[in-house]
Amino acid sequence: MPGYFEARPEGGATIVLDEVEISILRSLSVQLLELIGPGEEPAQDADPLAALMVEGPSEPPADPALARLFPDAYGGPGAPADRATREAAAEFRRYTETDLRAGKRENLLAVVGSLDGLSAREDEDEVLRLDADLCRQWLGALNDLRLAIGTRLEVSEEDDTLMRLPDSDPRKPMVHAYLWLGGLQETLVESLTA
């Protein structure tokens, strides 16, 4: 089925993508990479133990999409937190967010790299073959893309107004992208569990 993942007999998954799909996936991945920001690489002559102990930020991101990708470990979204909960969340964030950002960047770069390996032309679709490791990275990236887009669209379980937007609404293309990414994510999971 073009446009959706299918299981490979030897493991992993396959998807047939056209030029537009490749372009959309690549563009969304690059945009999310830019939002997450560059990684802070330790100097080549840095002490390896010191590099492991690099501290990250202690405050949650101000951008709602980043806050969704890097939520507080303690307390719930929008829930009032006491001083001890805020301190615990800040301490946890300080030692984990840098690695979480690096992992998300790595997943997105894997998506971009595998898409760059395709050479779709206007009149031909391309087959993308992913091994198990790439499937894991694609799943992570698709999830992060959906979370970021869903946050921007203010998607909620209680509100289905986005599904009924008129074609003239400027959010309509992002709603389509959000739903399409959900289909990709679902079929990738299905192909890995088949």
In a domain, 187, yes or no: yes
Task: Determine the structural domain holding residue 125 and report its residue range.
Answer: 6-45+99-193
Assess if residue 125 is contained within a domain.
yes
| Assigned domain for 20 exists | yes
* pLDDT tens digit sequence for 143-175: 999 999 999 998 887 777 777 888 888 889 999
The answer to whether residue 72 sits within a structural domain is no
Calculate what percentage of the chain has a pLDDT beyond 70. Answer: 86
Q: Note whether residue 71 is domain-resident.
A: no
∠ Cα 112 149 7 (to 5°):
50
With contact defined as beta carbons under 8 Å apart, do 105 and 66 qualify? no
Instruction: State residue 1's pLDDT score.
Output: 41
Structural domain total, the chain: 1
User: Residue 129: its pLDDT value, please?
Assistant: 94
- Model pLDDT, residue 2: 55
Q: pLDDT tens across 75-97, in order?
A: 766 666 788 888 888 889 888 89
**Diameter of the chain by CA atoms?**
60
Per-residue tens of pLDDT for the chain, all 194 residues: 457 999 999 899 999 999 899 999 999 999 999 999 986 655 566 666 655 556 777 788 899 999 999 998 887 666 667 888 888 888 898 888 999 999 999 999 999 999 998 865 556 788 999 999 999 999 999 999 999 999 999 888 777 777 788 888 888 999 999 999 999 999 999 999 98
Would 141 be classed as within a structural domain?
A: yes
| HEC profile of the chain | CCCCCEECCCCCEEEEECHHHHHHHHHHHHHHHHHHCCCCCCCCCCCHHHHHCCCCCCCCCCCHHHHHHCCCCCCCCCCCCCHHHHHHHHHHHHHHHHHHHHHHHHHHHHHHHHHHCCCCCCCCCEEEEECHHHHHHHHHHHHHHHHHHHHHHCCECCECHHHHCCCCCCCHHHHHHHHHHHHHHHHHHHHHHC
139 in any annotated domain = yes
Is residue 75, in this structure, part of any structural domain at all?
Answer: no
Check: CB of residue 2 under 8 Å from CB of residue 185: no
